[in-house]
Structure formats: structure tokens, C-alpha cells
Amino acid sequence: MASMGSFPTGVDSSILVHSGNQQRPVIPILAFKPKKYVEIGSFADCNSAGFSRNFADDLFSRLSLCCGCSNRGGKLRMKRVKATQEGTGGGESGNESEDAFQATIQKGEKVLAMQKDLLKQVHVFFEITLSFVNQLFNVKSERPLPNFAGDCKLIIEPRMTSHMIAERKKLVSSIKNNIVDPEGIKPPSTESNGTTSILDAAPTKDETKLETDLLGSGTTSSDAKPEIQQQLKATSSEGVRSMEAPPFVPWNSVVIPNPETKELKDTTVNTVTIDPTKEDAKPPPLAGANVMNVILVAAECAPWSKTGGLGDVAGALPKALARRGHRVMVIAPRYGNYAEAQDTGVRKRYKVHGQDLEVNYFHAYIDGVDFVFIDSPLLRHIENNIYGGKREDILKRMVLFCKAAIEVPWYVPCGGVCYGDGNLAFIANDWHTALLPVYLKAYYRDKGLMQYTRSVLVIHNIAHQGRGPVDDFAYVDLPQGYLDLFKFYDPVGGEHFNIFAAGLKTADRVVTVSHGYTWELKTLEGGWGLHGIINENDWKLRGIVNGIDTKDWSPDIDIHLKSDGYVNYSIDTLKTGKPQCKAALQKELGLPIRPDVPLIGFIGRLDDQKGIDLIAQAVPWMMDQDVQLVMLGTGRPDLEQMLRNFEGQYKDKVRGWVGFSVKTAHRITAGADVLLMPSRFEPCGLNQLYAMRYGTVPVVHAVGGLRDTVKQFNPFEESGLGWTFGRADVNELIHALGNCFYTYREYKASWEGLQKRGMEQDLSWDNAAQNYEEVLVAAKYQW
């Protein structure tokens, strides 16, 4: 037995008590009395620290066993023994040993304080969780409706229906069931722990009141007025999807210690644990405490509507944000009859340029994202001409779309519950939805509404700005005081009306789709007249490179590579799979099936941006090189005609496919050896990303996102991803292509290295989503 001044092994400032196979630090010495006995703890101390009497008993008896303590009247005492040479390990004085003892006492007190503090934190965490659950279900809003659309008529006011209350009960009981105590301790009961009362499955007064509010006093949902019954049915008819627990709590295995009443055998205060062995174990959201409600609003959204990269982003970024734990919605126009989306039954009317227009809201829940489609005769059946028509007509569509979109979080229940406007951020995209930040300010924030809602505006392409004469201001239905936001002068347009300008000024944050483009936007050439406004708002601008939807764009699972001779392939089967796709493409397009000839692909909108003129200038040179060229695109009629002419001129070498075909785009990406992107400017560019994932080597003009994402091949170091050229000049294009063909023919190993490096990159949306989250959080805390 060790003497005073040198504790037995394992008993020092954090005395270890062995229980089963676990070692736990416990409260050590609490008081020191310079008497015969030193009191080192009491039951009272244990109780105040949240430990039961049994536990204290156990602790004390173990201490008595291991260090000769005695237990008198609930006080644990240790006999004072004068330090001896033998006991102290040599020559220590009694004072020294007492000092050591004092130090140990102090350390012990610190440990105790820390433990108490941690227990408090666990309780605070639990309370926050409960209040979140409560908030989630108390959707009733007392806010006055803004006089936004004149006499806009609310037909359904989504509140807690009995169906929703039932859902809430389900959630509550699932939360209860998932509160697991690994030592078999039951979840704290409501009697013994006030903090759990919110979890009670019985409807609370508020809930009952809520139903009464909705249905009128003395009525229940079953005896409500027929029209209300119908509305309720509409609200819940699509089937309230099963509610998920608030995303920031790992419900699977939450241990809740109750310091007041619970017998806590485990003193480890890090009580929130995840059981990875459970099949339904859900990790905590990656966003952690930053989880928000996010609504992305865009004029197109793949796969339902797409003319270019904006559609891809609207279809994929929200899913990546949802994977991080956010509650995410996409709002897009309902251009066609989308099979997945069901009518929510919600109808609203908005005034646009004096016209009273009704909109319906359709809803689908896919891959963790709520997709809400706004339906109106103004938007219907234009999927092949989204941005077509007269300027005023396009403007009216966008005004209606933005007005209707901004109120979706109030009126359209998703999974039975509206998003509400607290902790909410909109992500608007390009000029088409740049009115949304303006409306958020003018009709809501400036009137004390939606105070916790923020807007982020994403620039995918600054070249299109929603310009018009100043008189167009009449269409946007705003008080005259807001005209200055839109009125803009530049040497090209003179004084004009500019929607993008107003959006950039009013959004809380601005994002653009690459770092390179962020820089270009601030220049006279790159900002397309808006560089001044962008420079003024530089503080809120950030570049985030797009990702790609790897479910859609992966050669190993691509659904468009499963027939007509195409095959799925991966980096391991690249050498066989890709040549097979190339042969299938040559066959499908009626080109000679030649594995040795470099096959160059181009996919894109046919306009000035994409550098089609440079390709046109390089075609004669290319045709001398024994290559094949496949181009897919729609756009300017003269450029479409040019494609047809090339095909007519070089029948055995060129195919010019005029049209929009997602399947063909995938097949060209898989079958081509080289993807050509000589864009004059390119905010990000997605095709080069898709190409690299398919082992297709990009040759690009180093601008915007192309410069960010395609690193020049270095043959000495065997590094890089493709070929880049610095100026939009045909000779530079030819030079880059020449090196590319030479490497393709003469340096097979280098070529394969290029392909594999491209395929190995992580191009998914996950990184970008994390960066968007940072922007959303910055917007949220900005006042």
C-alpha cells in the first residue's frame, strides 16, 4: 500500500475507477483538512455533481479498497500518514508531500468543474433540439400579408392539420424511441424531467388551438365546412412524406443524462454518440449548426427544362446542399406537364402589368429536395423556347415567376410543412430571377417582413442582363422610389433599365461560378457594362467553381451508354470501353469507323460566347490533319447553318448536329477523344468537366472557369489535364490542337496519363456546396 504523498498507481489527479471494461475519470479529492484524516469527498459532493448515491457508494468503497480510505457518515476520509523515505521514494519532507497533495486537490476540483460544465452543455444542446422540433411544427404565421399583388387571394393557408399533427406525433415518438441509453436506462420520463415535455406525443394546447384556429371553434377536421375540408385534403392529398428529425441531431443514439434524478453510472460526459453498427444510423449533417432552409430559384432546371449550364446547376447544386443537411427547395417554372410533380391545390393571383394572373403550384420530392413548379398560362408549353418571344413578354414572365416564387415558403406546404421565412435564404440565378432580391427588399424587408430571409444572386453569365428602355420599369410593379436601382447608364446602352444591375445591388451576397470569372467581371471587357457595380459590391462577391452531377455524368453508370453499341466504362476499363463508345458514335453518325483517328467533339449553345467563329476558321486546317469533328448545338440561325455547311462540305469527316439532344451530348462526351471549347468567355463551363470525367481530353481557351479547371499539359513532368491557349485567336487554337494531335498519335502513354488524371479528379458538387453554405451563412448574419 502506498503512503500519503504517493497515490497508488492509477489514482492521481483524475482517479480512475474500473467498472466493467471501462475506465472513467471520476471526481477526486474535494477538500483538505490538516487533521488526522483528510476528507477527500462526500456523498453531497457526488449528488451536486449529478451522481447518484449508489455511484458514490461504489466509488467510495473502491477508493477504500485501493488507498485505505474510510467512509464515515457519508464522508470519505483518507488517513494522514507522515511521509517516509520509503513511502515517498526518497528524502521528501512532509511539507513537500502536503504541497503535492494540495496540488492534487486543486486539479481534482478543476476536473469536477469541467464535468459539471459539460453536463450543463449537454442539457442546453438538448433544449435547443427540442425547441427546434417545436418550431418545425408550429408553422402558423401571424404576419400580415403584404399588399404585394393587389388583391392576391390566399386560398389555402397551410397550418397544422390533423394529418400534420399525426405526423408530428410520429416524429416525436421516433425521437423518443431513438433516445438510447447504452446501459439500458429508459429515456427520461416527463414527470422526472421537465425538459422532455415538448416531446410528449399528446397534442399540446397549442396544437389543439391550432386545429381550432384552422377549423373554427367546436369543429374538428372531419366536421369542417366542405370547402375547408377540400382544402385540407388538397394540402395533404399528395401524402405528407415522412418527416425527418431535425437534421442537426444524430437521433440514433442520444444519451441524455439527468443530473437531478437519473442514476448515471457512466460519468463520461461526451454523451452524444453515433452507433455506426445500426443500419439506419444517420450521421450528423455536414452543415452542423449552419443548417438552413434554402430555396434556389431558376428559370430552368434539369432534367425538366434546360437550355444550358444553368439548368444543370439548378438540378444538381440543391441536392448537394440537401446532402449537407439543409432543407432545400428548387422553384422553377412549369413549362410542360412534368410527370413527377403533383398539384398542391394552392392557387394564388398576382398582378403583372395590370393583368390579374393565377398561378398553381406543383410539387415533387426527389433526392432530398423539394421541387416546386409554378404553373401559369404565361409559362406553359414554352419548354423549347424558354427565353423566346418579345422583350416585354419575357419580362412579364419573369416578373410573375419572381412574385410567385418569393411567397412559396409561406403558402406551399412541402411534406406538409411550409418552409416559413425564418432562417431562410433564396439563391436567385442570372437576370431572369434577379428581381427576386429586389422584391424581397422592396415588398418585404423594407416593410418589416421576412426579416430573417436573405438572398444570394448567382452570376452564370453577365452578358445577358434583362436590359430595356427605362419605361420597362412599369412592368416590374414597384414604387417609383425603386427606379434608381434599375436605371443605369453605359456607353453602349446609354440610359436604360437593367434588371441584373438592380439584383446585384440588392442581393445580400453575390456568387459567380469560377474564380477566373470573378476577376474578369470586374474588368471593362468582362463586366459587360456592369463592372462598376460589381467593383462597388466586391465585398459581397465570391467565386465558386461549379461541380457536376455525378449521377448523371459518370461513364460507369451513364444511362445513355447502355445501348446502340455504347458501353459503360470506368478508369479500369477505359482502354476497352472508350474505344467501343468511339466506334458506336462513329457508326451512329455515319462516320468511318476508325479507331486511330482523333475524334474532336464540340457541344454548346451556338452564339458568340462559345467561339464558334474560331472553330470555323480552324476547320480547313483540321481537315488536313486526318481527324473527325462532331459538333452539337443550337442557337443563332447563321451558326446553325454553318454547322450544316461543314457537314455538307466534309461528309466523311464532319458531323454538324443542329438540335438539343441530351443523349447525343452524353454520347459525344464518351465517344470523342478531344473536347474543343474555344469560348471567348466562359464563366465556368461544364462540358470540359464532363469531358474530363469521361477520359476525353479538353482543348480550351484559358478564360474564366476554363482556366480554373483545365491545367495545361506538361510533357516533361507528365502533369496537367489538357491544352489551353491564351488568346482567342485561330493560330493559338491551331497550335494547341496540333500539340494535342501529336501527343495523341505519338505518345500513347502520355495520352493515357492525361485521360486518367482527368478521370481521377473529384468534380462532384460536394465541395462547391460547402462553399455555397459559407456564403449563405455569411448572408444570414448580415444585417
Ligand X SMILES: Nc1ncnc2c1ncn2[C@@H]1O[C@H](COP(=O)(O)OP(=O)(O)O[C@H]2O[C@H](CO)[C@@H](O)[C@H](O)[C@H]2O)[C@@H](O)[C@H]1O
Binding site for ligand X (CB under 6 A): 308-310, 312-313, 460-461, 513, 546, 603-605, 632-634, 660-662, 665, 682-687, 705
DSSP per residue, 396-407: HHHHHHHHHHHT
To 5 degrees, how large is the angle CA 581–CA 585–CA 589?
170
Q: Smaller CB distance to ligand X: residue 386 or 440?
A: 386
Q: Cβ of residue 302: shortest distance to ligand X, in angstroms?
A: 8
Q: Smaller CB distance to ligand X: residue 661 or 712?
A: 661
* H or E element in which residue 19 lies: strand 16-19
To 5 degrees, how large is the angle CA 624–CA 629–CA 630?
165
Packing angle between helix 637-649 and helix 612-623, nearest 10 degrees? Answer: 10
Q: Smaller CB distance to ligand X: residue 26 or 313?
A: 313
Q: Smaller CB distance to ligand X: residue 249 or 510?
A: 510
Q: Cβ of residue 178: shortest distance to ligand X, in angstroms?
A: 40
- Cα distance between residue 676 and residue 606, in whole Å: 14
* Residues 12/103, Cβ–Cβ less than 8 Å: no
* Residues 518/448, Cβ–Cβ less than 8 Å: no
Burial per residue of 491-515, b for 16 or more beta-carbon CB atoms within 10 angstroms, e otherwise: eebeebbbbbbbbbbbbbbbbbbbb
Q: Smaller CB distance to ligand X: residue 266 or 640?
A: 640
36, amino acid identity: K
- Cα distance between residue 654 and residue 623, in whole Å: 9
Q: Cβ of residue 457: shortest distance to ligand X, in angstroms?
A: 13
Q: Cβ of residue 553: shortest distance to ligand X, in angstroms?
A: 8
- Cα distance between residue 97 and residue 89, in whole Å: 11
Q: Smaller CB distance to ligand X: residue 369 or 450?
A: 369
Q: Cβ of residue 703: shortest distance to ligand X, in angstroms?
A: 10
Q: Cβ of residue 650: shortest distance to ligand X, in angstroms?
A: 20
Q: Cβ of residue 552: shortest distance to ligand X, in angstroms?
A: 9
To 5 degrees, how large is the angle CA 586–CA 590–CA 595?
30
Burial per residue of 574-599, b for 16 or more beta-carbon CB atoms within 10 angstroms, e otherwise: beebbebbbbbbbebbebeeeeebbb
Strands 723-725 and 697-701: parallel
- Cα distance between residue 685 and residue 512, in whole Å: 12
User: Nearest residue by C-beta to ligand X?
Assistant: 308
* Residues 297/433, Cβ–Cβ less than 8 Å: yes
Q: How far is CA 102 from CA 4, 29, 95, 108, 229, in A?
A: 12, 9, 10, 10, 74
Which of 272, 242, 260 is CA-nearest to residue 178?
272
Q: Smaller CB distance to ligand X: residue 486 or 602?
A: 602
* Residues 742/764, Cβ–Cβ less than 8 Å: no
List the beta bridge partners of residue 79: 37
* Residues 369/318, Cβ–Cβ less than 8 Å: yes
Which of 543, 647, 645 is CA-nearest to residue 590?
647
Q: Cβ of residue 639: shortest distance to ligand X, in angstroms?
A: 12
Q: Smaller CB distance to ligand X: residue 344 or 546?
A: 546
Q: Cβ of residue 533: shortest distance to ligand X, in angstroms?
A: 20
- Cα distance between residue 432 and residue 399, in whole Å: 9
- Residues 6 or more apart in contact with residue 542 via CB below 8 angstroms: 509, 510, 511, 512, 518, 771, 775
User: Which of helix, strand or coil describes residue 272?
Assistant: strand
Strands 355-366 and 369-375: antiparallel
Q: Smaller CB distance to ligand X: residue 238 or 312?
A: 312
Q: Cβ of residue 654: shortest distance to ligand X, in angstroms?
A: 16
Q: Smaller CB distance to ligand X: residue 513 or 627?
A: 513
Q: Smaller CB distance to ligand X: residue 308 or 598?
A: 308
Q: Smaller CB distance to ligand X: residue 387 or 742?
A: 387
DSSP 204: P
Q: Smaller CB distance to ligand X: residue 302 or 404?
A: 302
CA-derived radius of gyration, the chain: 34
Q: Smaller CB distance to ligand X: residue 375 or 552?
A: 552
E strand spans, 406-503? 424-429, 453-459, 467-468, 487-490, 494-498
Q: Cβ of residue 591: shortest distance to ligand X, in angstroms?
A: 18
Q: Cβ of residue 665: shortest distance to ligand X, in angstroms?
A: 4
Residue count (the chain): 783
Q: Cβ of residue 376: shortest distance to ligand X, in angstroms?
A: 25
Q: Smaller CB distance to ligand X: residue 537 or 661?
A: 661
Residue position matching grid coordinates 398542391? 344
Q: Smaller CB distance to ligand X: residue 506 or 664?
A: 664
Q: Cβ of residue 525: shortest distance to ligand X, in angstroms?
A: 16
Which of 658, 694, 652 is CA-nearest to residue 675?
694
Q: Smaller CB distance to ligand X: residue 180 or 548?
A: 548
Q: Cβ of residue 420: shortest distance to ligand X, in angstroms?
A: 29
Q: Cβ of residue 770: shortest distance to ligand X, in angstroms?
A: 17
Which of 431, 375, 380 is CA-nearest to residue 405?
375
Q: Smaller CB distance to ligand X: residue 188 or 466?
A: 466
- Cα distance between residue 320 and residue 123, in whole Å: 32
Q: Cβ of residue 780: shortest distance to ligand X, in angstroms?
A: 23
**CB-based burial of residue 760 (10 Å sphere; 0-12 exposed, 13-18 middle, 19+ buried)?**
exposed
Q: Cβ of residue 687: shortest distance to ligand X, in angstroms?
A: 5
- Cα distance between residue 396 and residue 476, in whole Å: 8
